[in-house]
A and B are shown apart, each in its own frame.
Chain A
């Protein structure tokens, strides 16, 4: 049942830090966040970690566990072989505030840059009619819990601070795709803007974001690739280009 386990926790702040070794008890069925809480309550009262729901629904306890971006509340201790050390470090793509807590304000700035949903002007509340099958495409992206693991893993920004200015990241590509596929949204040219203003073109579809998504959203296949394809279609096909100037919604043929 209970066993002693070696845990290495990154401790420090923006100026300095390093891995600290601790021994901690682990019980059956526990997740890495349980271990961190136990260390906090018994050995390091000021160990900084973000968490809220502890059920994989809020996306707060994002960190890197043995180098992989994960939610600590959904990572079973039992998934590591007996004897293997578990190392927890803060998200690498964002500046450290303290210990396992990073400054994720980049994401909130990017959220601000994505134009919001535009409801049809003449459609009064309660009058909307949409088919289930049509809302499901956007609903997949609305499952996003904003854990920002996809933002963290994406190599376009992970080791390239300079790209952050022009690159919104996978989380916001699915936000754009969600609005683009929203049956009622009235704003035009979302895909073009994704390409021209939010750095969609910088993504070279290595699918790392899809791999780390705890909600199993098919970020690359269902959001990024379809948008890339249609941007290309519209840009290089003169008939579609003309169509996009006439029709309400671009790229639909």
Chain B
């Protein structure tokens, strides 16, 4: 073989979405040299798909908003399983992260006073989402991408080399995170274009790889959402927390089949869209759970008034947190009140004039018109739940985003767990990326001060290389595309939006069987831009993720947020005290329970005690928070 391409950096960031780029900017600001590695072209990361906005309590539309209200909403949305410290940091720092984007050239929609406009969203008490029409994710990724370019231009001016401090390695897949003496030493991967291998030596690795949606059959995620970071972290000795919690976004497209799962932004409901079943009933009023009764209107008249007067009316139930709306849609369809194609109707045409719809929801109009032949200014959309987001992820220290148990490893964004508890509120993802992307960058900076260098051993290189070569040297007859389709079928049917213990047990056995067969995946063709070859690695990652999800789901005998057990329909305050921690022993994923860190008194006191009583045990209430 020709000589191996080798690079030395201070930080390797895996993933070029919002979190990865924000981390890179922070590390660069401290003078570190950063490699950004991504599977796609630069600027194509899944962040681009975010539509509704970024939640930050700037108080531009309703001045009563502040971080405490945002914190409360986030904890409620996550049914109090969130890591309190992450939710706190997120609520406190989001406004600064949004304003900073403006300094870098972002152009958000404005209020009458010329401030950044904020819109309503499910679970947020006040209008809170900074947005650009319904393409906020594009604005965010482009602003970050252009910020990276600006820094590179600055470096070019100063050192004559634009890539002296930040280099983007686009279309490069990382197959392994490397450790020496228990600490991070680098990462190994290959160029997708030609299959040539690359070694990165670095004392820190920041994982920012996003989600796992491609593990499921119906998903809003792009091909990249294969849980790479989750699996890389597990294999590197890190833990995953609460992988049973998957967010099924209530409104994905359902027709035609080729677009099934593509996201329909929650902004449609934020702007006044209503959900009806095939009988024409506005069914959400029937599904307001006990814990939310005092915040959501139980009749149409009040719900409609809320759009004009938010202080004296309760919110429409269409704006309940996503898990609630998804379950409601699922129940309506199951009860035979679904649409022709197995969804429900979402209609914004009767409430908003056509020109306003086109202005506020331009990409939705475009998407339905061009892909489904539906004009949403005149007709209703057909929608149903789609796998959208994984709340579970790498267990991290909240302040530094450092992965627990692996010195030098960090994780931020969707791939990190804890922040959103059992269910994420819409709009909290884009702000999460920025807040914890920056913190991961800061964490890496501190770590590098004490651990400035890293060297990878020849043996580790040889092992990593052998694993990349393996699919080509196998004679076995398995095809990665068919195994992937089988896995998606299993997760969809057995670990999907509604689960039972029996189904999940069956899934665990079946996933293991696919994993055994995946050892025989053989790849045709060469290493040059070969999707079959690429999928072989993605498949390995998805199998580990699915195993972790199924095993965590089996243990949790309650229903909460993005985990609904038909055999345990209630929410239990005992289970709220437990996180599920997945680890990998080289052969199997093992899941154990771990106590949730107790909420400190000052945060505990932000809530009405009667609300906390709905979630916590009497003993916890009596204690009144830690310290």
Q: Which residues of A contact B (CB under 8 A)?
A: 13, 27-31, 34, 40-42, 45-60, 74, 76, 97-99, 101, 104, 108, 111-112, 115-117, 119, 123, 125-126, 128-132, 135, 138-139, 142-146, 179, 182, 185
Sample of 17 A–B contacts (CB below 8 Å): A30-B258, A40-B481, A40-B532, A45-B532, A46-B524, A46-B531, A55-B367, A56-B370, A58-B49, A74-B371, A112-B149, A128-B102, A129-B114, A139-B133, A142-B107, A145-B138, A185-B105
Q: Which residues of B contact A (CB under 8 A)?
A: 40-44, 46, 48-49, 58, 95-96, 99-100, 102-105, 107-110, 113-115, 117, 132-133, 135, 138-139, 142, 146, 149-150, 152-153, 156, 162, 193, 222-224, 255-259, 262-263, 363, 366-367, 370-372, 479-482, 485, 523-526, 528-533
- Interface pair B370/A52, CB less than 8 Å apart: no
How many Å lie between the Cα of A115 and that of B153 in the bound state?
A: 8
B residues less than 8 Å from A59 (CB atoms)? 44
How many Å lie between the Cα of A98 and that of B42 in the bound state?
A: 19
A residues less than 8 Å from B46 (CB atoms)? 52-53
- Interface pair B149/A111, CB less than 8 Å apart: yes
The verdict on A131 contacting B367 (CB below 8 Å), with A58-B48, A116-B149 known, is no
B residues less than 8 Å from A31 (CB atoms)? 258, 371
A residues less than 8 Å from B482 (CB atoms)? 41
Of A30, A47, A130, A143, the contact of B256 (CB 8 Å cutoff): A30
B residues less than 8 Å from A142 (CB atoms)? 107, 132, 138-139, 142
CB distance from B67 to the nearest CB of A (A): 14
The verdict on A132 contacting B109 (CB below 8 Å), with A46-B530, A142-B139 known, is yes
- Interface pair A53/B49, CB less than 8 Å apart: yes
- Interface pair A45/B44, CB less than 8 Å apart: no
How many Å lie between the Cα of A17 and that of B494 in the bound state?
A: 45
CB distance from A134 to the nearest CB of B (A): 8
CB distance from A136 to the nearest CB of B (A): 9
Question: Can you name 17 extra interface pairs (CB under 8 A) apart from A112-B162, A125-B99, A132-B117?
Answer: A27-B258, A40-B481, A45-B479, A46-B532, A52-B40, A53-B48, A74-B371, A76-B370, A101-B193, A116-B149, A116-B153, A119-B105, A130-B107, A135-B107, A142-B132, A145-B138, A146-B43
CB distance from B18 to the nearest CB of A (A): 14
Of B43, B255, B532, the contact of A29 (CB 8 Å cutoff): B255
Of B115, B146, B528, the contact of A13 (CB 8 Å cutoff): B528
- Interface pair A29/B259, CB less than 8 Å apart: yes
CB distance from A217 to the nearest CB of B (A): 12
How many Å lie between the Cα of A145 and that of B135 in the bound state?
A: 10
How many Å lie between the Cα of A45 and that of B481 in the bound state?
A: 8
How many Å lie between the Cα of A182 and that of B103 in the bound state?
A: 12
- Interface pair B41/A60, CB less than 8 Å apart: yes
How many Å lie between the Cα of A78 and that of B135 in the bound state?
A: 27
- Interface pair B110/A52, CB less than 8 Å apart: no
Candidate in B255, B258, B528 with the most chain A CB atoms within 10 angstroms: B258
How many Å lie between the Cα of A77 and that of B110 in the bound state?
A: 39
The verdict on A129 contacting B113 (CB below 8 Å), with A49-B531, A57-B48, A143-B138 known, is yes
A residues less than 8 Å from B223 (CB atoms)? 51-52
* Pairs A-B, 5 closest by C-beta atoms: A29-B256, A46-B525, A117-B105, A129-B114, A45-B532
CB distance from A54 to the nearest CB of B (A): 7
B residues less than 8 Å from A13 (CB atoms)? 528
CB distance from A28 to the nearest CB of B (A): 6
The verdict on A99 contacting B529 (CB below 8 Å), with A45-B523, A58-B49, A132-B109 known, is yes
Closest to B221 in A: A53
